[in-house]
Amino acid sequence: MSTGKLQAVAGPAAQPDLVARCQRGEKEALGELYRLYRSEVARNLHRMLGPGRGDLEDVLQEVFIEVFRSIARFRGDAKITTWLYRVCVNVALQRLRKRKRRAEVSGDTVTERVTDETPERELDNRRRLDAVYRILDELSPKKRVVFILHEIEGREPKEIAGIVGAPVLTVRTRLHYARKEFYARAASDVRLDGVRA
Amino acid sequence: MSRHVAAHRFAATLTAREQRHVDGCADCATAQTRVQAARLGLDFAARSEPAELSAAAEARAEASIRWTRITPAVPVRRPFVVGLGLAAACAAAFVVWQARAPKRAAYAAATPSPASHRATLNAARPDRLEALVTLVGGDVSLVRGDAPARRLGLDTRLGAADRITTAGSARAAAQWSEGSGFLLYGDAELTLARLEPRTQRLELGRGQISVRVGPHEPGESLHVITPDHVVSVHGTWFTVASAAHTTTVEVLEGTVEVTERDGSASTLLTAPARATFGPGRSVSAPLSGHQAAKLRAESEMNFLPWTAGLDAARSTSGALLVASQPPAELAVDGIVLGSTPLELRRPFGRHYVELTRADFRTQHQWIAVGKEPGELRASLVHAAPVADEPSAPVEIESMIHRRSSQIRACYERRLKRDPSLAGTVSLKLRVGDAGQVTRVDVEQSTLPDPLVAECLRREAAGWSFEQGRNATVVYPFVFRSQ
């Protein structure tokens, strides 16, 4: 099971010259970078945007287009995984803002992988997950991102500040108001009734 | 309830006093249960995994890599070094300018201006696209400029401003890049308003069009414009039908954006979905797996390999002409392309052609396509009538009753994977002269999981009836979870 954080992947990622080759514009290196990190990026986008929206692959492509375009400007001050995560969050934020502006018609409701849970348990989990993301949809994109990074991914405010490019104090404030809003909405959300704990 | 205890306090451990309050307050207890459910939801979100990435994601990544231009970063220099370098460059330029003063006029005449250099660069990249016709069936006409209408043929190269009109049961498909093109259905009119490498704009006057977009360059846009709506492509495969101020859009892959022509409203449609947009209102619903599969089969565009461009695609493919009496459904290399007569373009080589029509024997044949067109003109033969009449009704109900646990198991196995699984599977059973089942076909299935139908088919293939001979039985199995 994944911890939710972008991991430093063993093997090809350890090649110190992969980023340098990408920065020189070598297409094979870009392909290698994509294959190495696509699953982690997809997992993080999935958590950020919520399940069953059908646009995960679109956003994934947008993330990698942005990565390919701006990798030449990556200075190596942070780990490549942290930098990738920052791009991922920025693209997810853009997508969330776009969703807020437009009516969106979703196709399949649930498309995640099947787990080993019993059907009843699985159904409860999905209902809970659906309710949680519907509440998250009502938060502002900035609060949502900070909330997910902290509550779902377990990141510390200092780390979140590095990812979203905001002061730690701002992150703490956003987190406080996001938690307050989320739990207040959850407390009055009838969709969470009748789901077995 | 939030009057008594701030809801977000439930997220933390309550003090003994707070807990006593909650125990005595029904509203607070409900709120606490909901918050606990939300926390469990958050835990599940941390463990949930996205679906496996499709092969299309891989293709899109490859396209992104192919089209991404990486500008190497300029190394950072110290300001002092930069200043010194600039000063030296200015001094050198001044010296050179002084020395060459008399020759400046001649130099200016000989050196291309930046504008003309840009023009040269633009000339290297074509500013318009041409589309190759890949399939023509029935009466399809082309109007180009002021010239009179002429018949659209496989050799026609389509360009911007061309107008295509199809008669009642006709269809035509064309392709302009790898995996990108359209299929125009019968009784439709389409104008290729813009056909450029970065912008394609198709104006649908009436009728229905299916559009498929292959890997595209970032910033490349494709719009299908109906009299009332604009459909913009973010994704890959969709159909648009226009009639009497309504536009129906079915998305098979990716995402499209539908906007009113006056820009007053826009909707994002994500596959698989169908939506109808009328004046001031829209109705949308997801497409079932069965509907999406049917739609895919009906909107095949007979695309050609396009990696080396139109000329290469044209010079490595030839015409295949298929006609039959009576008209039948044509499949080439296993892909159903529509009803005969059809003219289509296929890569040079041998192709497996199949003609099917109900109550007629299926005809299949290998046809070679080369510089000379491959041609098949077939007369279909009626299928032989059933030899014997059934002696007695097939006792299907009692068989279903006897085998109910096996039938249920087929469904319940897959229900564990998808708790919302529900639908109907119709099996067509052919019973032989000894009561044994000689053939089982899945007539229709509305279940999104095809493994249930396959399991049923295998189960039914082993049945043998005591009553009923030489008969065909169609039986619908309805599955719904409790």
Which chain B residues touch A20 with a CB distance below 8 Å?
A: none
> Which residues from A are below 8 Å from B275, CB to CB?
105
**How confident is the prediction for chain A on average, in pLDDT?**
78
- Is A41 an interface residue toward B (CB < 8 Å)? no
Closest to B71 (Cβ–Cβ): which among A1, A31, A72?
A72
CA–CA–CA angle B304, B339, B353 (5° rounding)? 55
What pLDDT score does B120 carry? 39
**What are the distances in angstroms from CA B434 to CA B384, B391, B439, B457?**
20, 11, 13, 20
Q: CB distance B267–A132 less than 8 Å?
A: no
DSSP-assigned letter for residue A151: I
Domain ranges of chain B: 7-42, 131-298, 317-379, 396-479
Task: Give the closest-approach CA distance of A103 to chain B in angstroms.
Answer: 6
Q: Do B41 and A192 touch (CB under 8 A)?
A: yes
| B-proximal residues of A, 46-105, CB under 8 Å | 46-47, 51, 53-58, 60-61, 64-65, 68-69, 71-73, 102-105
Is B38 within 8 Å of A131 when comparing Cβ atoms? yes
Q: What top-level class would CATH report for the domain B396-479?
A: alpha beta
- Give the predicted TM-score (pTM) of the model: 0.42
Name every chain A residue with its beta carbon within 8 A of the beta carbon of B286.
106-108
- What distance in Å separates the CA atoms of residue B24 and residue A1, rounded to the nearest whole number? 40
**CA B248 from centre of chain:** 15
Q: Which of B33, B64, B270 sits opposite A105 (nearest CB)?
A: B270
Torsion of CA B332, B337, B343, B344, to 10 degrees: -60
Whole-number Å distance between alpha carbons of B38 and B11? 9
A116: confidence class by pLDDT, cuts 50, 70, 90? low
Contact list in B for residue A43 (CB cut-off 8 A) is 49-50
Compute chain B's Rg from CA coordinates: 32
C-alpha pair distances (Å), B344 with each of A41, A55, B174, B337, B338: 42, 34, 10, 9, 11
Helix (H) or strand (E) holding B184: strand B180-184
Cβ contacts of B153 within 8 Å, gap of 6 or more = B133, B136, B343
The owner of tokens 């059934």 is B390
**Which amino acid, A188?**
S
Contact of B440 with B453, CB cutoff 8 Å:
no
Tokens of B409: 């198991």
How far is Cα A13 from Cα A40, in angstroms, rounded to an integer?
13
**pLDDT computed for residue A7 by the predictor:** 41
Residue type, B285: A
Residue B211 DSSP one-character state: E
Of B38, B218, B265, the CB nearest to A132: B38
| CATH 3.40.50.2000 is the classification of domain A12-105 | no
Q: Check if the beta carbon of residue A119 is closer than 8 Å to that of residue B422.
A: no
- Report A:95-124 residues touching B (Cβ under 8 A): 102-108, 110-114, 118-120, 122-123
- Contact between B385 and B354 under an 8 Å Cβ cutoff? The reply is no
In sign, the C-alpha dihedral spanning A121, A123, A127, A130 is positive
Q: Are B154 and B137 in contact (CB under 8 A)?
A: no
Chain A hits for B271, Cβ within 8 Å: 54, 107
Helix (H) or strand (E) holding B181: strand B180-184
Asked if residue B447 lies in contact with residue B422, where contact means CB atoms within 8 angstroms, the answer is yes
**Nearest of B235, B184, B237, B181 to residue B209 by alpha carbon:** B184
Pick from B5, B54, B64 the residue to mutate for testing the A interface (most A CBs within 10 Å).
B64
Using CA coordinates, name the residue in chain A closest to B284: A105
The strand ranges marked E within chain A are: 103-105
* Six-digit token string for B437: 């089942």
The reported pLDDT for the residue numbered B433 is 80
Q: Can you give the residue ranges of every domain in chain A? A: 12-105, 114-192
Q: Identify the CA nearest to A110 among candidates B45, B221, B136.
A: B45
Q: Do A34 and B49 touch (CB under 8 A)?
A: no
What is the 3 state secondary structure string of B393-440?
CCCHHHHHHHCHHHHHHHHHHHHCCCCCCCEEEEEEEEECCCCEEEEE
Q: Which of A23-32, A83-92, B122-131, B265-274 is predicted least confidently? A: B122-131
The answer to whether the CB atoms of A107 and B287 lie below 8 A apart is yes
CA-nearest residue of chain A to B51?
Answer: A112
| CATH of the domain spanning B131-298 | 2.60.120.1440
Residue B3 has what pLDDT? 42
User: Cβ B417–A56 below 8 Å, yes or no?
Assistant: no
Pairing, β B335-339 against β B329-332? antiparallel
The residue among A5, A65, A113, A189 with the most chain B CBs within 10 A of its CB, best to mutate, is A65
Q: What is the pLDDT of residue A148?
A: 92
Note the pLDDT of residue B182. Answer: 92
Q: Check CB contact under 8 Å for A57 and B54.
A: yes
B331, B332, B335, B338 alpha-carbon torsion, rounded to 10°? -40
Answer whether B223's CB lies under 8 Å from B259's CB: no
CA-based nearest residue to B382, from B365, B357, B402:
B357
Residues in B touching A104 (Cβ below 8 Å): 267-268, 270
* Inter-chain CB proximity B50 and A108 less than 8 Å: no
Which of A156, A165, A172, A174 minimizes the C-alpha distance to A78? A165
* B22/B7 Cα distance (integer angstroms): 11
A191 to chain B: nearest residue by CA? B34
CA distance B273 to chain A (A): 6
Query: Does B38 contact A51 at a Cβ distance shorter than 8 Å?
Result: no
Q: Is A188 exposed, middle or buried (0-12, 13-18, 19+ CB in 10 A)?
A: middle
In sign, the C-alpha dihedral spanning B61, B64, B70, B76 is: negative
Condensed to tens digits (0 to 9), the pLDDT of residues A50-80 reads 876 667 888 888 888 888 888 888 877 778 8
Domain A114-192 = CATH 3.40.50.720: no
pLDDT means per 10 residues, chain B with 482 residues, are 49 72 82 85 82 74 68 52 65 67 45 41 60 91 88 89 90 87 91 86 89 70 83 73 83 79 75 80 76 78 80 86 89 82 86 84 82 85 62 78 87 82 85 84 83 88 82 83 64
User: How far apart are the CA of B244 and the nearest CA of chain A, in angstroms?
Assistant: 24
Distance CA A78, CA A80 (A): 6
Of B41, B275, B415, the CB nearest to A129: B41
Whether A192 and B72 lie within 8 Å, measured CB to CB:
no
